[in-house]
């Protein structure tokens, strides 16, 4: 980070903190806050951190990467400790307020208000971002830590989380609440399949440690639980040994069928460490770009001919690049810097992320792409890659019943960024969602698709009863995470 950026960050943070009111109490009758004691007002529990009730903080907490939904909370908790989260969840429960965790103040990567709380409390999890321990096979970290920060701490000892999201500035708590998919998922499962233990503050305000052998129902509920059952405050995440180098191969296909078949073959034979792919603009329509990576140690270079044998990409389109493992993991950083510089990062993002059963993938992807213009993508990427259902272990990560499942994502930028265009794209997403469910597909629920409680019941089927039961058990008063509108 440049000195100038660092300074402006510190200044903006300081100015936010100056907006905090020194001593705040809650007035239940008017559901508002007071800075001086008033009859009937209820003092806040003692906090190590701060509760921000100034307009700037509340407005920031009504933003996310989607820039589509804007629900302002009444306050933002900047926790100084896990005890602050326990105290505020208990306080919110008692006062009938809703509360949700978010990666940061207005820095949430949700695209449709999933971490926002209308007239409630948002917890800025980035305030708790300590890496407590890095061992041989796991790391114990605060939920506000970003994958990038963790990787910087683990790579010196040659270790990495086995599956990384494409973009590593996401928070560990945020991705464990949804799934955390990347090109290594075919081998290792998602990030939720690689968490070993968690500390969770339930909707009752209890701090509970859970793992596969301890408080298992909570452990199973919280992973991909969309923040419905508890706030994850710490997690022990799996680490694996990784070589320091990564060789990336990209190549183009004209033929969707062959592209999908080759991807499936590669995740079965496991010759690469990472398998992804994209639909890209091409003369007369779209082509399909395979992106595969082999990790290696210096002196043990990959055998390109052996790795690429039998693949049906178009001759002359192969590109091979070598770099460090970290640069590969952090490969989106230069693009994101450019998008921020151009101002496009701040445009609305009506994203659509789908899990498509392999048996229907070709027809479904072809149909959706034929109805999706380049203008509707706003130069955002279209991602297509498969993973194996056998690698998944997380009950509430709902994926189609098939041996292989494709992630199919339309990562739209709304250009022009007008409310009319955004609304039209969200409605397109909704129409695609109807087609998706008709073929047995599921949403990856991080995207901009309006869903009703009935849609959510359908999403979690046949686990809806289990989901509802977990809500009654861990958040009986529905205090947590109203943003998705599940209940
Ligand atoms: C540029 C970009 C790239 C992305 N790339 C990928 C990718 O490659 N793979 C992938 O799987 N996803 C990807 N995503 C989606 C991402 O995983 C989700 O947005 C996810 O929600 C994480 O974002 P976050 O850390 O900002 O959490 P937020 O968006 O702040 O939170 C997400 C949800 O989890 C809840 N939550 C947050 N923290 C906690 C916590 N500690 N405990 C309980 N609940 C919590 C929130 O209330 C909200 O409902 C990407 C998103 C963007 C914008």
Q: What is the CATH number of the domain that holds 192?
A: 3.30.465.10
- 383 in any annotated domain: yes
Ligand 1 test: best mutation among 121, 222, 446, most atoms within 8 Å of CB?
446
- 222 in any annotated domain: yes
Provide the pLDDT for residue 13.
36
Enclosing H/E stretch for 275: strand 274-282
Residues 259 and 326 placed together within one structural domain of the fold = yes
Q: Please, is 45 exposed, middle or buried when counting C-beta atoms within 10 Å of its C-beta (0-12, 13-18, 19+)?
A: middle
Domain total of the chain: 4
Question: Ligand 1 center to residue 311 CA distance, Å?
Answer: 34
- 168 in any annotated domain: yes
Ligand 1 test: best mutation among 108, 352, 486, most atoms within 8 Å of CB?
108
Provide the pLDDT for residue 32.
82
Residues 73 and 186 placed together within one structural domain of the fold = no
Question: Ligand 1 center to residue 198 CA distance, Å?
Answer: 17
Residues 206 and 266 placed together within one structural domain of the fold = no
Q: Is the CB of 114 under 6 A from ligand 1?
A: yes
Residues 236 and 274 placed together within one structural domain of the fold = no
Question: Ligand 1 center to residue 373 CA distance, Å?
Answer: 27
Residues 257 and 308 placed together within one structural domain of the fold = yes
Give the strand order in the sheet containing 245-253. 319-324, 245-253, 285-296, 274-282, 382-388, 404-410, 352-357, 442-443
Max distance between CA atoms of the chain, in angstroms, equals 79
Give 114-172 pLDDT, tens digit per residue.
999 999 999 999 999 999 999 999 999 999 999 999 999 999 999 999 999 999 999 99
Residues 314 and 351 placed together within one structural domain of the fold = no
Question: Ligand 1 center to residue 44 CA distance, Å?
Answer: 29
- Mean pLDDT of successive 10-residue segments in the chain (487 residues)? 35 38 75 80 93 95 97 96 98 97 92 97 97 98 98 98 98 98 98 98 98 98 98 98 98 98 98 98 94 97 98 98 98 97 97 98 98 97 98 98 98 98 98 98 97 97 97 98 97
Can you give the CATH number for the domain in which 259 is found?
Answer: 3.40.462.10
Residues 216 and 283 placed together within one structural domain of the fold = no
Provide the pLDDT for residue 23.
62
CA distance 346 to 417: 9
Can you give the CATH number for the domain in which 55 is found?
Answer: 3.30.43.10
Last residue within a domain, chosen from 127, 156, 185: 127
Q: Is the CB of 124 under 6 A from ligand 1?
A: no
CA distance 481 to 108: 14
CA distance 168 to 101: 19
Q: How many beta carbons lie within 10 A of that of residue 28, not counting itself?
A: 13
- Contacts of range 126-129, beta carbons closer than 8 Å, 24 or more positions apart: 126/171, 127/49, 127/78, 127/79, 127/80, 128/79, 128/81, 128/82, 128/233
Residues 37 and 89 placed together within one structural domain of the fold = yes
Last residue within a domain, chosen from 175, 206, 241: 241
Residues 49 and 105 placed together within one structural domain of the fold = yes
Q: What's the pTM value of the predicted model, to 2 decimals?
A: 0.94
Provide the pLDDT for residue 383.
98
- 390 in any annotated domain: yes
Query: What is the span of the domain harbouring residue 148?
Result: 131-241
Last residue within a domain, chosen from 196, 215, 241: 241
């Amino acid at each position: 980070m440049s000195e100038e950026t660092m300074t402006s960050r510190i200044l903006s943070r300081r100015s936010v903190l100056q907006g905090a009111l020194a001593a705040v109490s809650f007035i239940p009758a008017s559901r508002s806050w007071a800075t001086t004691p008033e009859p009937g007002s209820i003092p806040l529990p003692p906090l190590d951190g701060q509760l921000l009730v100034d307009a700037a903080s509340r407005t920031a907490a009504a933003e996310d990467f989607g820039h589509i939904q804007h629900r302002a909370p009444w306050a933002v908790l900047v926790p100084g400790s896990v005890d602050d989260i326990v105290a505020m969840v208990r306080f919110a429960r008692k006062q009938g307020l809703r509360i949700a965790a978010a990666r940061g103040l207005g820095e949430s990567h949700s695209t449709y208000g999933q971490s926002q709380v209308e007239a409630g409390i948002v917890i800025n999890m980035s305030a708790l971002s300590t890496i407590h321990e890095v061992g041989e096979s796991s790391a114990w970290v605060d939920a506000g830590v970003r994958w990038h920060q963790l990787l910087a701490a683990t790579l010196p000892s040659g270790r990495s989380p086995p599956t990384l999201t494409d973009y590593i500035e996401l928070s560990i708590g945020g991705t464990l609440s949804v799934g955390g998919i990347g090109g290594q998922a075919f081998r290792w499962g998602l990030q939720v399949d690689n968490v070993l233990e968690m500390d969770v503050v339930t909707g009752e305000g209890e701090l509970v440690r859970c793992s596969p052998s301890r408080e298992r129902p909570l452990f199973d509920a919280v992973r991909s639980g969309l923040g419905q059952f508890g706030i994850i405050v710490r997690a022990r995440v799996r680490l694996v040994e990784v070589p320091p180098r990564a060789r990336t191969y990209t190549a183009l296909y004209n033929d969707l069928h062959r592209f999908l078949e080759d991807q499936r073959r590669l995740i079965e034979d496991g010759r690469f460490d990472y398998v992804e792919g994209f639909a890209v603009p091409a003369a007369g329509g779209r082509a399909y770009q395979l992106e595969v990576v082999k990790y290696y140690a210096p002196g043990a270079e990959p055998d390109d001919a052996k790795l690429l044998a039998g693949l049906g990409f178009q001759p002359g389109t192969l590109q091979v690049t070598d770099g460090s493992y970290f640069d590969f993991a952090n490969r989106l950083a230069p693009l994101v810097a450019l998008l921020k510089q151009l101002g496009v990062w701040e445009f609305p993002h009506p994203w659509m992320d789908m899990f498509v059963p392999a048996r229907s993938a070709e027809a479904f992807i072809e149909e959706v792409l034929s109805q999706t213009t380049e203008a509707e993508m706003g130069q955002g990427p279209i991602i297509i890659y498969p993973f194996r259902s056998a690698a998944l272990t997380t009950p509430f990560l709902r994926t189609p019943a098939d041996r292989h499942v494709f992630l199919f994502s339309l990562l739209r930028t709304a250009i022009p960024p007008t409310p009319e265009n955004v609304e039209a794209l969200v409605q397109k997403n909704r129409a695609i969602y109807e087609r998706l469910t008709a073929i047995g597909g599921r949403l990856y629920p991080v995207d901009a698709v309006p869903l009703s409680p009935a849609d959510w019941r359908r999403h979690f089927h046949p686990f809806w009863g289990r989901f509802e039961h977990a809500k009654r058990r861990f958040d009986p008063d529905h205090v947590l995470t109203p943003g998705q509108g599940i209940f």
